[in-house]
A and B are shown apart, each in its own frame.
Chain A
Amino acid sequence: MADPILELKDVHVDYELDEGVVHAVRGATYRVFKNETLAIVGESGCGKSQSSFAAMGLIQPPGVVSKGQILFRQKDNRPPIDLLQYHRNSPAMRAIRGGQISMIFQEPMTALSPVHRIGKQIDEVLRLHTPMDKEQRFKRAVELLRHVGIPDADRRYYQYSFEFSGGMRQRIMVAIALACGPRVLIADEPTTGLDVTIQAQILQLIKRLQGEHEMAVILITHDLAVVAETADRVAVMYMGRIVELADVMNLFQRPKHPYTVALLKSVIGSPLADDGRLATIRGSVPAPLEIVPGCPFHPRCDSYIRGVCDKTDPDFLTMQDNTSVACHLYQNK
């Protein structure tokens, strides 16, 4: 197997608030390879966005990346660099962010500037990351807009974001993210809030561009249908931890972690869900400041082993079928 482009090793993200420390991410470990889509799923507040924000150097005070390594390989067959060694505002980090690792955000309306023409917003990325001159940049920007499916691109270059529909805005976001041909694209809920026919268009667009640029895509979403449709591998997060990481087929057909099983049973139309009454997970996600001893899922888990699950935190172990899972049921000791 080739070398991973991006590798997170035991990354922790903490927010130091007046009320106490919120551990947003407690040990995220995953790798992404060329041309691969890794989906990170979980419910709101599970830390799925935070782990990849760390890779972009987007964790801002009071948040800190308190532990771990984020290894990024700028070129194939070269040793990777640890992004956490650079300050988020250092020139090295700025060169990588938006250039080699770029991001699509959920809300294209708030992610785009309302007071700059959209052409200028693409131009900015090119100006910061490439040596192109003004004319070349204009040509490239128009070409990018056309490439993401915006008709009449040289006229629309001069328009503002409010003059575009939601789907078109998301296409512009994609154009900005891909302007410099990044190696890693982080898509944070790229289609949430879009209509299904538009969602299908955007997902297909990302897929097509991924193939053209051989990008690694990290898809952050809560929508398991989108995951089933687009991902190669899936990481399931719960309370800041990755509880299971597996190939998409394995995960949907043979989930291992009780949380994954419960989650899939509650999704209408998944292979595990019943037709009548939907299965639910009892209780609710603990408040962010609450500290759950042992396995974070044990208070809601049906397979909870007294004296084990509430005492020690399970290790994140890899099993034969390339599935990694953090659960005491699968720790052969």
Chain B
Amino acid sequence: MHPLLKVDNLRVWFPKRRNFFGKPLSYVKAVDDVCFELNRGETLGLVGESGSGKTTTGLAVLRAHRPKAGTINFSPDGKKVYDMAKMEQGELRPLRRHMQMIFQDPFSSLNPRMTVLQLVSEPLKVNNIGSKQDRKERVRELINEAGLKTEFLNRYPHAFSGGQRQRIVIARALALNPDMIVCDEPVSALDVSVQAQILNLMMELKDKFGLSYLFVAHDLEVVRHIADRVAVMYAGRLVEDGPKDKVFGEPMHPYTRALLVSAPKPDPSQRRQRHGVLHGEVPDPSNLPTGCVFHPRCPEAMECCQHVIPAQTQTDGRNVRCLLYQSEYSGSPKVVRNKVVAAV
């Protein structure tokens, strides 16, 4: 049985400058050499700061971007495998019903001129499923699943609050019985109490319909709550991925550690002096540092980190890309930082 989704060496580069004949001269390397797997019924949390390429990865998996290299093996039934990276839009069409997307902003992802009925039945209509009456019946069912009342069917999105709109978006995503849903920051625009409602709903629906989520988010607490496995991205590369307890409980990559230290906890008794606050900022993806992309900010950088790109190593039940865990480099001399970068 093949995993639902297996991504290997995915590379999404956007041309930045082109020559006279339209050949790209330089690229913005939004996603570079990303590998991960998503199994059936599993939630993979993709975390990282803005500009880390997590959204681009999510969109590339749905082939909303054309990858420059790599494979995206999608297997809705577990038998036949489709490499979506190489397929044309026309060939992708029949596969599209197996994957859906939930966007961050429920205010801009719903067409203001369509009623709830039209919005939720649109995927069915596009795929020529059922008669008008059947579709309406199905929409009622979906709206109920999403926790909304069916008398709202003829209202327009403006009549709903953020949480209710996100429920409409979820109902629409479920319309075609997808196998995989890519969720791009689905709760970050919502208030906490509403956030909890939507997360609960998403977890219920996952169990009920056997969904798999690729859950893109920057909020580590949300990911800790909903995900089974976590992948941490930085500047277009995947730095660490593995089971949630391993990655969040015993982080190995220096960036994962710094990220976890930086995130405040909603519990004042755990308040601590922050020693691990990172200096500097995420690098510009069109002008990435050589070697390991994290080395200019890394508290444990070694001299070799400046020119060797770390390979994926499997250690202690997770994958990590850091030279500290590659035996041939692990004892190299550390970089001495003589300048204090931007006092905090």
New A-B pairs, 7, CB < 8 Å, besides A268-B225, A284-B194: A195-B50, A199-B262, A200-B264, A204-B277, A225-B263, A229-B265, A278-B199
Q: Which residue of A lies closest to B203 (CB)?
A: A277
Chain B interface residues (CB < 8 Å from chain A): 49-50, 161, 163-164, 191-197, 199-200, 203, 218, 220-222, 224-225, 258-259, 261-271, 274, 277-279, 281-282, 341-344
Among the listed B268, B278, B341, which residue makes an inter-chain contact with A151, where contact means beta carbons less than 8 Å apart? B341
- Alpha-carbon gap, A203 to B273, bound state (A): 12
CB pair A249–B269 under 8 Å, yes or no, is yes
Q: Which residue of A lies closest to B223 (CB)?
A: A268
Chain A residues touching B, majority SS: helix
Residues of A within 8 A of B161 (CB): 284
Q: Judge if A226 is at the interface, Cβ distance under 8 Å.
A: yes
Of the candidates A168, A208, A266, the one having the most CB atoms from chain B within 10 angstroms of its own CB is A266
Among the listed A149, A200, A267, which residue makes an inter-chain contact with B266, where contact means beta carbons less than 8 Å apart? A267
CB pair B266–A228 under 8 Å, yes or no, is yes
CB pair B193–A253 under 8 Å, yes or no, is no
- Alpha-carbon gap, A222 to B263, bound state (A): 15
Q: Which residue of B lies closest to A203 (CB)?
A: B264
| Minimal beta-carbon separation of B169 from chain A (angstroms) | 17
- Alpha-carbon gap, A29 to B225, bound state (A): 36
CB pair B278–A226 under 8 Å, yes or no, is no
CB pair A266–B195 under 8 Å, yes or no, is yes
CB pair B266–A278 under 8 Å, yes or no, is no
Residues of A within 8 A of B218 (CB): 195-196
CB pair A267–B192 under 8 Å, yes or no, is yes
| Minimal beta-carbon separation of B230 from chain A (angstroms) | 14
Residues of B within 8 A of A301 (CB): none
Residues of B within 8 A of A109 (CB): none
Among the listed A248, A270, A280, which residue makes an inter-chain contact with B193, where contact means beta carbons less than 8 Å apart? A280
Residues in A187-223 with C-beta less than 8 Å from chain B: 195-201, 203-205, 208, 222-223
Q: How many CB-defined contacts (below 8 Å) exist between A and B?
A: 129
Q: Which residue of A lies closest to B191 (CB)?
A: A43
Give the top 7 A-B pairs by smallest Cβ distance, nearest first: A195-B49, A266-B196, A278-B196, A229-B264, A200-B262, A225-B264, A43-B191
- Alpha-carbon gap, A200 to B279, bound state (A): 10
Among the listed B164, B196, B199, B277, which residue makes an inter-chain contact with A197, where contact means beta carbons less than 8 Å apart? B277
Q: Judge if A269 is at the interface, Cβ distance under 8 Å.
A: yes
With A167-B281, A197-B49, A198-B281 as known contacts, state yes or no: A224 contacts B196, CB within 8 Å. no
| Minimal beta-carbon separation of B111 from chain A (angstroms) | 23
Jot down 14 A-B pairs with beta carbons below 8 A, ordered by A. A195-B49, A196-B259, A199-B262, A200-B274, A201-B277, A225-B264, A226-B264, A228-B268, A252-B268, A264-B266, A266-B196, A268-B222, A284-B163, A284-B194
Residues of A within 8 A of B259 (CB): 196-197
Among the listed B192, B197, B221, which residue makes an inter-chain contact with A222, where contact means beta carbons less than 8 Å apart? B192
Q: Which residue of A lies closest to B52 (CB)?
A: A195
Residues of B within 8 A of A44 (CB): 191
| Minimal beta-carbon separation of B292 from chain A (angstroms) | 17
- Alpha-carbon gap, A278 to B197, bound state (A): 8
- Alpha-carbon gap, A152 to B326, bound state (A): 37
CB pair A271–B277 under 8 Å, yes or no, is no
| Minimal beta-carbon separation of B282 from chain A (angstroms) | 7
Among the listed B164, B267, B344, which residue makes an inter-chain contact with A271, where contact means beta carbons less than 8 Å apart? B267
Q: Which residue of A lies closest to B343 (CB)?
A: A149
Q: Judge if A281 is at the interface, Cβ distance under 8 Å.
A: yes
- Alpha-carbon gap, A163 to B191, bound state (A): 31
| Minimal beta-carbon separation of A130 from chain B (angstroms) | 24
Interface string of A35-46 (1 = CB under 8 A from B): 000000001100
CB pair A205–B269 under 8 Å, yes or no, is no
Residues of A within 8 A of B278 (CB): 197, 200-201
Q: Judge if A150 is at the interface, Cβ distance under 8 Å.
A: yes
- Alpha-carbon gap, A266 to B200, bound state (A): 10
